Structure formats: C-alpha cells, structure tokens
A and B are shown apart, each in its own frame.
Chain A
Amino acid sequence: MAHAATQDHHDDHHSAPKGFFRRWVMSTNHKDIGTLYLVFALTMFFIGGSFAMVIRAELFKPGLQLVQPYFFNQMTTMHALVMIFGAIMPAFVGLGNWMIPLMIGAPDMALPRMNNLSFWILPFAFLLMLSTLFLPGGGPSGGWTMYPPLSLQSSSLAYVVFAIHLMGISSIMGAINIIATILNMRAPGMDLLKMPIFVWSWLITAFLLIAVMPVLAGAVTMLLTDKYFGTNFFNAAGGGDPVLYQHIFWFFGHPEVYIMILPAFGIISEIVPTFARKPIFGYKAMVLAIAAIAFLSFIVWAHHMFAVGLPMGAEIFFMYATMLIAVPTGIKVFNWVATMWGGSMTFETPMLFAIAFIILFTLGGFSGLMMALVPADFQYHDTYFIVAHFHYVLVTGALFAIIAAAYYWLPKWTGHMYSETWGKIHFWNSVVWVNVLFFPQHFLGLAGMPRRIPDYNVAFANFNMISSIGGFLFGASQLIFIGVLIHCVFFSKKKATDRVWEGAKGLEWTVPSPAPHHTFAIAPIVRDEELAHGHVED
C-alpha cells in the first residue's frame, strides 16, 4: 500500500518531541502512550510475580519457613490486585492504544490528552497501593475481593480504596476513549463488519468497562463509609448484609474476568489467520460470540457465590446461565481450529503462543464448566481447583495472548525482528513450566486443599512441591522474555519489512516498520482485499 507509506514517511522521526519529559510525560501520541502502558504492565508483571514467588516459596513444603501467615495473606492479596489491575488490564489497554488507530486508519485516539491522563494516573495509584506494604499494619490481607467484614479489619483499607478509585477512573477514561475512537475515527470504507476482530473485542470490552468499573467504585466506597463514617451497608449488626457486598462485587467481578479475556480472543483471532495464511473461519460468528459472552457475563455473577447459601431457584438460574457461556466460547475454539484446517501454517513464536493459548485456555474452560455444576462446586469452591482454573484462563489465557501479541507486533513497533531462537526458547520454557506449576493444583483442590492458606497437611506436600518448582522455573523463564525484548528494541540488526509476516493482512501492515510517530493524518483509502475481513459473506 504505497499510498499510505508515502503519506506517512515525511513526518517520521522529526515530529516526535525532543526531550524525555516532553516525549513521555506530556505525550498525547497513541503509540507513545501505548508503549508507556506496556512498559508499566511489564514492570507490574514482575512485581506481582515476585509476590507469587514468595507464595510458592512458602508453600514449597509443609511448615512455615519464610513468612508469617499475616504477611502471606498480604502477598496473595497484592499478587492478585497487581496482576489484575496492574499487569493484565494495562497491557491490553496498551495494545489497544497502539493498534486500534493503526487498524482502523485513524490518526490517533479520539481524545489524546485524556489518554495521557488515563495512563499517568496508574503509576500513582500503584505507588499508593504498594506503599501500604511498608506501613505499620501492612497492606491489604483480606483477598483481592475485599469481602467485608474481614476487609474492614484492615488498617490500609482507605489507601487501597483510593488506589482502586484511581485505577477505575483510569480504566473508564481509557474505555471511553476507545469507544469514541472506534465509533467515530474509522477511515472511510472501514465498516463495522470489516473491522479486525481485535478492534471488535476491544469495543465490546470497553462497554463492559464503563458498565462495571463504576459498580466496583460504588462497592469499595461503601466499604470506606462502613469503616470510617458509620454506615451499615455490610454490617449485619447494623441491619446491613455482608452478602450484599458479594453480589455487587461479583456484578463487577464477572464482567471483569471477561474484560481480561475478550481482548485476548481478539489477539488470537488476528494471529491464527496470519500464520495459517487463511481468513478467520466464521468472522460474524466470532464477533457475535464475543458479544454473546459479554451479555452473558452480566447474568452469571452468583456462580462465584454458590456456597453463600442462595435459594435453590437462584442457584439453578445462575448455573444454567453459566453453562450457556460454554456455547459461544466453544464456537470460538472450534472456529480457531477450523481456521487452521486447510491453511498453510508456519510456527513462529506468536503462533506458538497462540496455539498454546487455544489448548490451555480450553483446559481452563473445561474446569470452568465443571465448576458451573452447583453440587460439584460445593466441593471445588475455594479450593486449589479454583486456583488452577483461573490461572489457566488468566496465565495461559490472557497472559499468553499478551505475550503472543508482543511478539506479533514487536517488529512493527521497533522496526527490528526479535530473535526467533530465543523467542522459541522462551515459549517452550513457559509452556512446560506453567503446566508443572498449575496442573497439580487441580489434584490438590480435588483432595480438598483450601486456597489462601500458608501451610498445609503433609498429604498435600508432593503436589505443592512440584507446583512450586514449576512456579520458580516459570518465573525464571520470563526473564528470557525481558532479554528478547531488550535485544529486539536496542540491539537487533535484522530490519523488519513493512509487512513483517507473509500472511499478515490489515491496515497496520501498510505503514512502515517501525510505525512512524504519526500515521494516517490523512485517512487511507481502504481496499477490501487488503483487509483481513474485507469481503466476508458469512
């Protein structure tokens, strides 16, 4: 697409602001802000990962060896908060920031200064939250779900609530920006049903975000007033109800888990067709499936609360609704497999991570289906079976998709190829050790080991030790990732072509590599055959 390339080439480089402060702190450029989000997410990933290492080290063998139970609880709580709000969500926002304008032919996000604000709130929110670990009384220790009354016993509640408010504002502004961008900034000819599935997944995710982040804000605000201003929303003695908090929290919480997986679906739906050299199977079905999953996410929240003693009618409703999710999710998995079928596949690192995603996310989906069955969930609930389940969907699901996306678009971002050899070493180490880490946790859960305990009976010792070894090695494997990134950004000699991947389609591959500071200042002419989904009939 020569027209786009020549358009953009003249404003390369000399338009990026000089000076570190101006370039990064005052940035209104979607690519620079995207980079900031991604670097931030990577930093948080390692901070949250270090908490996980503390957890796995303490659980290496029975008996307490390293930390007190109270500190252990702070670690489990902080690990979750940092990974969810600091690593996975900002990573997806960063990918969205970088790629959405490039994919729809927009010059930038619709609201660039708000974009800057959305990002720069985050470091302060996390400084505030992480600082609680150094306060007398320590950080939050009541679990990331912050169930009252336990969370009301924490002396750091106010810090955490304020930090969550900041993260929520950041996420909501980010979501508003994405909605405004996608709905208004598409280049002429980029119809909604020609958009890449990644863009579709983010559009739907953004709607989930503006619907549920305010509900979380409301819930934690009520925690705050319960603790400091004498209200009794959740205080049984004052006429409130602790279970009410759980309903509100999970009304946020379940859409939240889809906020963390829908963009991953989008990424996989971009990568698989590229390396299979064949259009995605059932484009419209894929988009509809994402929309259906998003809708269902609003009516399944109580499956996190099967053991709180809900009436039977309610449990049956939530069980059926939860099981329904298996249908659109199944369609997505089948369609990915059908995309591969009859293709001409190569297995570069992004494709390897995408395939691992499909296999291992599906495994997490299987355990999810088992947990939807209420009587079985009475056994699984709050055991390591749950821990195994959500780590399969979040680590081998969301995280693997993010890593796949990083490898996939890194040449476009940096203009250099990463080291394929080291990428593959990173992949094989990750995929082996993540299974050593999480698979045995299914067995622990089935044997009845509760989650969030710092110590356990010797019957659980063997699988915990295996899990810990897997954990340390999985953590170490991610250092390879850092090495690959640093090499690619600063040292790689191998120039990337504009197209980068033989089978790549879509507007983002029509601009030069590295993508110039400004792209599509004049809207590109969109030609259907250039798009991945330019002429869909299904």
Chain B
Amino acid sequence: MTSGGIRHHGIRRMATVVATGAFALLCGVARANPVPWQMDMTKGATTYSHVPYDLNMVSLLVCVVIGILVYGAMFIAMFRFRKSRGAVAEKWSHNTVVEIIWTTIPVIILASLAWMATNGMRKFYDTTGSQMTVKITGYQWKWRYDYVDYEGKPISKVGFMSKLDDLSNETRQLHSGLDPYAVKTDGYNTYLLNVDKPLVLPIHTKIRFVITAGDVIHSWFVPAFGWKMDAIPGVINAAWTNIEKPGVYRGQCAELCGQDHGYMPIVVKAVSKADFAKWLAAQEKASAPAPAASAAAPQTAQVVAPAVGSAKG
C-alpha cells in the first residue's frame, strides 16, 4: 500500500494546485501536462492545438445556452403546472409554429459549428510543407521513434525504443509498496507519464509523423498537440505538428492494446532548433539504432540527451 496515502498528499497539494490551476485557467496559460483538479481541455503548445480547444469551448458554450433554455423551461413547467397548485391540464397537443422554430434554429446552430469544425479539419489535414519526418511505431507496450529526415536531408540510423521509466514501472506493480506520489521529475509528478528516452523534437518546425504499429492497434496521443492518431499494423497514418514553445509534453497510448496498455506513455521533449541540431549530430555520431538501455533512467530526460540541458517541463 502506498504509505502516504491520498488524503495526506491530496490535501497538502490541494491548495497550491487549485491556486495554480485557477491561475492557469484565468490567464489562459497553456498547460503542457495534466494537473490535479484540471477541469478543461489544454490549449496545447502547437500552431494547431488551439483548434480543438476553441471548438470545445464554443460547442460547450452552445450546449450551456441551449441547456439553460431547455432545462429552464422544464423547471418552470414543473413549478407552474403542478396538480398540487391546482393546475388543470390543457388539451392542445401540437403547435406547428413552435415546431418549425425549434427545428430550424438547431439546424442553423449546427451549420455554424460544422463550418468551424470543417475549417479546423482543413488545417489538420494539410501535411504539406513539412521540414522534418518522424516515423512512430507502436509495439506492445512501447513506442519506437525513427528520425527519417530533417530540413531536406535524410537521417540515417537515428531511432530508438521509448518505454515506461523504471521508477514508474517499479511503483506500478501490484503491492509494490511504493508511493505513486513519490515519482517526480523536475518537481512534477510523472508517475506513468515518464519514459526512459523521450522523443526529442525541434520547435518552430513543421514535423510530419508517419504512424504505424507492429503488432496490435495503438494510438499516439499527446494532449498538448491537440490530436491523437491510431497506430495500426499494415496502415500508415500521417499527422503533423509545429511546436511553439520548448518544453516536455506528456501523453499516453489511447487505444486498448493489451495488459500494459496503461503503461506505454509518450514523452516529447521540444527544444530549440540549435539544440536539436546538436542533439541530432550526437545521435548520428553514436549511430546506434537503439543505444544501450540506460540503467539510470528514472529521473531522466537529460540522460538521453546530454547535449540538451536547457529545456524544462
């Protein structure tokens, strides 16, 4: 059992977390990773990720307004037309005018939502003009990343497996006796959200992903990018991103893929173009497709990418 328990940690953190959460909410600061008590979708950190966020907010607003009208009418009806208040039932059972009105108005609202969504999709489906290609392959239960090309030049033999970090892996075992609250990286809890080797990507670069799988269906999902895409054996899917801010972005496999489906996180470390060039050169030099599995994995993003120390989550 986790010795500290929920209550202890929960309450201690609640105050700070609620404060930071509210702060983030009010100021519209992008959250790269989930925080306790988070109630809304992340705005993300890419040129595309505002699209789902805006759609989410607009459609939520539409639903809230319709909800207030419909539920309001219901509650007024329930209050006014009670038998106990002496209400006598009326006989009418149709009214063509209101029926036409409440059929047309939803159609108009839906059409405008559809227009917004269609514009968002045009943006998402435009994978042209990418400056870099990364191949993502899902396996039970880890991800493989292969760097295909960067700024027009093919990259040879830079690719590696990325799996759950050792500390999370030890903690997650049934009756491990370890506390999930103790799994931290840079002061941020990364229980089940950390890997031994993150995917390192440059910012301000349109990166095209080609996504597939080696055994069963997986789904590559980083909320801060604003999309997920299924990784399917025999199928190659495409998606793209263009990260605006350096940072560490975390996600998880989103398609049930077997017993350890919950234990194949995704970590993307976004760095400046200069830092990325250095990191890539070092990787090409080492030229090992899968560098030896590091024993020191728990803490670290840094172990894998010694050349890049500056980025923080």
Contact = CB atoms under 8 A, between A and B. Distances in A.
Q: State yes or no: do A and B touch (Cβ within 8 Å).
A: yes
Interface of A: 61-70, 73, 141-143, 147, 149-150, 153, 236-237, 240-243, 276-283, 285, 307-309, 312, 315-316, 319-320, 323-324, 326-327, 330-331, 333-334, 337-347, 355, 358-359, 362-363, 366-367, 369-370, 373-376, 378-379, 381-383, 443, 446-463, 465, 503, 536-538
B198 to A, nearest CB: 16
Q: Which of A153, A366, A373 is most buried by chain B, counting CB atoms within 10 A of its CB?
A: A373
- Among A375, A454, A538, max chain B CB count under 10 A is at A375
A379 B37 contact: no
Interface of B: 1-2, 5-6, 9-10, 14, 33-42, 51-52, 55-56, 59-60, 63, 66-67, 70-71, 73-74, 77-78, 81-84, 87-96, 98-99, 102-103, 106-107, 110, 113-114, 116-118, 120-122, 124-125, 171-176, 178-181, 189-193, 211, 215-217, 219, 221, 223, 226-230, 232-235, 237-238, 251-263
Given A150-B216, A243-B232, A376-B55, A455 B83 contact: no
A537 B38 CA distance: 52
Contact of A459 (B93, B122, B189): B189
Contacts of B88: 344
B120 A374 contact: yes
B70 A337 contact: yes
B196 to A, nearest CB: 17
Q: Which 4 residue pairs of A and B lie closest in terms of their CB atoms, listed nearest first?
A: A236-B234, A538-B94, A453-B262, A309-B237
Contacts of A459: 33-36, 38, 189
Contact of B94 (A281, A309, A346): A281
A309 B259 contact: no
Nearest to B62: A369
Contact of B232 (A242, A383, A457): A242
Contacts of A150: 216-217, 256-258
Given A362-B70, A456-B192, A465-B6, A370 B63 contact: yes
Contacts of A320: 114
A337 B73 contact: yes
B14 to A, nearest CB: 8
A89 to B, nearest CB: 23
Contact of A69 (B67, B107, B232, B260): B260
B244 to A, nearest CB: 18
Contact of B92 (A69, A326, A342, A359): A342
A331 B103 contact: yes
Among B36, B40, B251, residue most surrounded by chain A Cβ atoms (within 10 Å): B36
Contacts of A381: 219, 228, 254
